[in-house]
Each structure stands twice: as structure tokens, then as C-alpha cells.
Amino acid sequence: MTHQLVLKKPLAFFDLETTGINVAKDRIIDICIIKALPNGDVVTKNQRVNPGMPIPLESSMIHGIYDDDVKDAPPFKSVARTLAQFMDGCDLAGFNSNRFDVPVLVEEFLRANVEFEMKNRRMIDAQRIFHLMEPRNLSAAYRFYCDKELVGAHGAEADTIASLEVLNAQVQRYMGMVAKADSGQEVVFENDVDMLHSLTANKNVDLAGRIIINEKGEEVFNFGKHKGLLVLDVLKKEPSFYDWILKGEFPLDTKRRLTEIRLRALSNGIGKK
């Protein structure tokens, strides 16, 4: 298997099967990573994981993985370092990966105390491109762009292969066309990872989108009673809100980013009496 994407560094396509869709609570049970290399080659890694919790029947009926299938698989913590090394130096890509797969994966790495830095990684979500250009789902995208039926949908490897092929076909189809990003900026479609990242990137501060960047470039809360309010203003007027989030069932990444904002504010003298 090869690809035609123009890459300056590896692009790791990946897909997760999980116990559910709660980023903070649910766990990975299957992960497939297909690393697209700049020379056109691809390298694949599959890993089943014991989530350490029962897999709900409704989830098993979707992806076909049951408790017995993972009872002898290793826990994520024991394979986390190997997975992080395999994805080291890679940008990230997938289908609905920005909203789900990336946040869940980062949560698992944080629980395992394995460093997985996101700052220098570009993220490309083939679903965002698809929804911007041809609103539908992965099976429809695979049929539309690749003229194939997605056999084994909701299996990590089948979905990951399909995501790579879909992005590959999107690049070929839309080359030179103008696309409008969520920001309203018009972008000329190119076979370039920076362009693809700018088209699909969101304004999230944390991966789960509890904190986002507003139109003025300021950090604001994106949920609950403080939705739309500046994070710094809330932390200053209601310090207990910070403690509530840290003690609540929020993703570890959300807590980490909020702590970074709070520490930055304190170092700048904001919030000191």
C-alpha cells in the first residue's frame, strides 16, 4: 500500500475502538496506526488493549469487540511507550480524529504518564474536509471518493485504511479549488499538510473543546454557566470554579490546560491580591 500525499514528515493515520464515547471515562480497546512516510510508503501497527473495565454491550454491537476478545490483551499503560515511540515525530490524521480519537488517545497517554507532546503536531481530520466539501459519513466518503464499499466498517484497521484512502482521494479531487474554513478564510486546496491542517483545525485550547479561542484570540469557556466568558475573568471572580473542574469528571487534558492558563496568569500578576 502506498500514498501520493506530499509530506515533509510522517503522517500517522489512526482509529480507535473504545468502550464508549466519553473522553474522560471511556477507554481504548483497539487501535490501528498507519504511518504514511514522505517516500510514499506506509507502515501499519495494530494493538488490542484490555480497558480494565467491562465493554458495554451497545458498544460491542457496533465494533464487534467483546470482553473475551480483550481479556488477554495488555493494558494501555504497558504498551503506551511503544505506541508513543511509533508516533514520535508524526503529524496526526484520521476521520473525526480532532473531536474524538486524538482527545481519547491523549487521555490514555496522560493516565499512563507517558509524554505525548501535541504542540508541534499538525492535525488533519478527513471528516472535516468531507463535511466542508461533501457532507456525509466515512462509509459514504469511501464510496464517493474511492468508489468502493467499506467492508468491516467500525473495525479500527478498516476505518484507518479508509481514512487514508479518502484523504488521498480528496487531495487529488480538490487540487486547486477554493475551500472556506470555519474561520471564514478562503484556502486554495493543495497537496500540503500545512494547508490541510489550517482547513480542518479547530479553535480548541483543550482537545475536548471545553476551552476555546474566541474571535479576539482570547481563551473562553465553552460550556455551562460560564460559556463564552473569559477564562481569566472567571478564575479571578470565582476561584472555586477551578477547583470544581479539577475535582470533577473532566478530561485530564482539560485540567492540564486550565492549570497552564491559571499558572500563566499568576506569573503575570493576574489574580494576586
pLDDT at 97 over 90: yes
How confident is the model over 101-116, as a mean pLDDT?
97
Average of per-residue pLDDT across 210-222: 94
Alpha carbon distance 121, 86 (integer Å): 14
Of 91, 9, 13, 3, the residue nearest 40 (C-alpha): 3
The pLDDT tens digits of the residues spanning 131-155 come to: 888 767 898 899 999 999 988 777 8
Q: Quick check: 273 pLDDT over 50?
A: no
Among the four given CATH numbers 3.10.450.40, 3.30.420.10, 3.30.565.10, 3.30.450.20, the one describing domain 11-174: 3.30.420.10
Q: Are strands 123-125 and 91-94 parallel, antiparallel or unpaired?
A: parallel
Q: Measured between alpha carbons, how far is 59 from 70 in angstroms, rounded to an integer?
A: 14
Evaluate if pTM is beyond 0.85: no
Q: Point out the least confidently predicted range of 55-59, 106-110, 149-153, 189-193.
A: 149-153
pLDDT for position 154: 79
Q: How many CA atoms lie within 13 A of 67 on its CB side?
A: 7
pLDDT digits (tens, 9 = 90+) for 242-268: 999 999 999 999 999 999 999 998 887
Q: Residue 202: pLDDT band by 50, 70, 90 thresholds?
A: confident
Q: What is the model's pLDDT at position 200?
A: 86
User: Which residues of the chain does CATH 3.30.420.10 include?
Assistant: 11-174
Exposure letters 182-208 (e unless 16+ CB within 10 A, then b): eeeeeeebbeebebbbbbbbbebbbbb
Q: Which residues pair with 230 in a beta bridge?
A: 220
pLDDT recorded at residue 151: 82
Residue 218, amino acid: E
Contacts of 181 (CB under 8 A, 6+ apart): 132, 187, 198, 199
Q: Is the pLDDT of residue 270 over 80?
A: no
